[in-house]
Amino acid sequence: MSADRTGIVRQSPGHSLTRAGQPGVRDASGLRGDPAYPAIVDDVAAETSTDTVQAWFQRFAPFAAGFFAVVIAAMLAWPLLPRRYEASASIVLLPDKNNDPSSSTRPLQPAPDDNAIQSDVDFIASPALAKIVIATNGLMTDPEFAAPPGFAGTLATFAPVLAPLLPPRQPPAESIVRARLQARLKVSRDRRSYTVTFGYWSADPVKAATLTTSLLSLYMAAQGDRKRDAVRRTTGWLDERVALLRSQYQSADAAVRSFLETSNLIDTGAQASLDHQLNMLSTAMAQAKAQVVETTTRAAMLQAMQAAKTIENAPDILLSPAIQKLKEARAAALAKPGIWAPEAQAIDDQLGAESARIVAGAVAESREWIERTSRLDAEVRSVRAEMTARTRAQLHLEDLQRDAKATKSVLEETLVRLNNQTSLLRAVAPDVEVIAEPEPPLTAAFPNPLLGFIGTLLAACLTGAVTMWRAPLLARVFA
């Protein structure tokens, strides 16, 4: 509490004012008649405003100090932050047209499935391609990738500007450089299409684009080499198959020719001759069988009549010229006068002998026809057996010819495929379409100015709030 030249006592805002020597007055309502009242009110208002500003300043000064400290630190650190430039290339995987030599004749090819796309993604990120990228771009001596392990290496990796200032150390192994390179590779695929995007990031935008271009070129070349190797392997396999099929066809054709000679099927007229022989023998055999039946029946009848002593009534006997002559001689002898018995008996004996001869002749003729029938039957059987053997040989020949024809067909098809391999090898191209070439990025992917601004603002506000909250403790610590 203090007093000015008017004698008015000033207290803190919210307290009553009293004139010096008048302690009972609680407010300034009693001073309104005083000529100095307006000046007193203005003076009191000015003092109150100044005290308010000072109170707010004292309260928010720690917040401002913490806030601006973070902002200034961020502004100083921003130029020193390592830059991360990302280059990328985009490709579209197309249907494979070169794996199958006959694929050029098919209008549509199956689209690559998820397994095939994932295989390409894995191949892009494979250590084999990374090793070639390292050798092509000389990364074993690049300070950004070949920094030695440890803190110095980490510092050189994230701040390449400081790499020349660091003491020289032994370069790392190739596996470490390859691991660092692969850690900077980003490969992604669009699940809704056949697009694959990949690329490297680096502190140098040109280096990032160069590394990505090398990886893209190596991937395209490797895919073409793999397809050409597949075509060459197919060509070699087809060469071996053609040689094998040609040998099999030559063997099959030789077997057909040899069998034609050994089976006599080469004689095309033999079959017609056999057919003619069989026809004639069949006719003769039918006639012979008829004669066997007829002669056997006649012989049996004559023998039966001979046994019954009625042979003289047999048709053969009656129609026999010798019998007729003997009967005429007998009749003439009987007609003579005188002694006729011996002469008649002699004629009767001759009649009996002639009848017996006729019966024996009929039996002999029957046996002759039976024998002839048997021989004709043997001949027919022989011809039939020869025709059967020829038919079987013909069937076997057809089997051999069928095998030879099938082998020849496969050989011709294989030769066509082999001839197509030459043109296919010249037409081999990667089943990839590049839709975005790698280019040096114009802006760094890290640090992001917008995210840096937002992060700095949040950190500054948080630091200011903590500083304002702990201001009394800080005041006691630094007092």
pLDDT in tens, 110-135: 678 888 889 899 999 999 999 999 99
Cβ contacts of 235 within 8 Å, gap of 6 or more = 418, 421, 425
DSSP 153-217: HHHHHH-GGGGGGSPP-PPPPHHHHHHHHHHTEEEEE-TTSSEEEEEEEESSHHHHHHHHHHHHH
End-to-end CA distance of the chain: 27
CA angle 27, 28, 34 (to 5 degrees): 155
Secondary structure (3-state) at 434: strand
Q: 59-63, 257-261, 452-456: which has the minimum mean pLDDT?
A: 59-63
pLDDT for position 301:
86
Selected residue with higher pLDDT from 249 and 298: 249
pLDDT of residue 17: 44
Percent pLDDT > 70 in the chain is 75
pTM: 0.55
Read off the pLDDT of residues 364-399 as tens digits, 9 standing for 90 and up: 988 999 999 999 999 999 999 989 998 999 999 999
Rg (CA), the chain: 65
Q: Mean pLDDT score of the chain, rounded to an integer? A: 79
Concatenated DSSP letters for 266-326? T-THHHHHHHHHHHHHHHHHHHHHHHHHHHHHHHHHHHHHHHTT-GGGSHHHHT-HHHHHH
Residue 1 DSSP symbol: -
Q: What is the mean pLDDT of residues 243-256?
A: 93
Percent of residues in the chain assigned helix, strand, coil, to nearest 5: 70, 5, 25
- Per-residue pLDDT at 14: 41
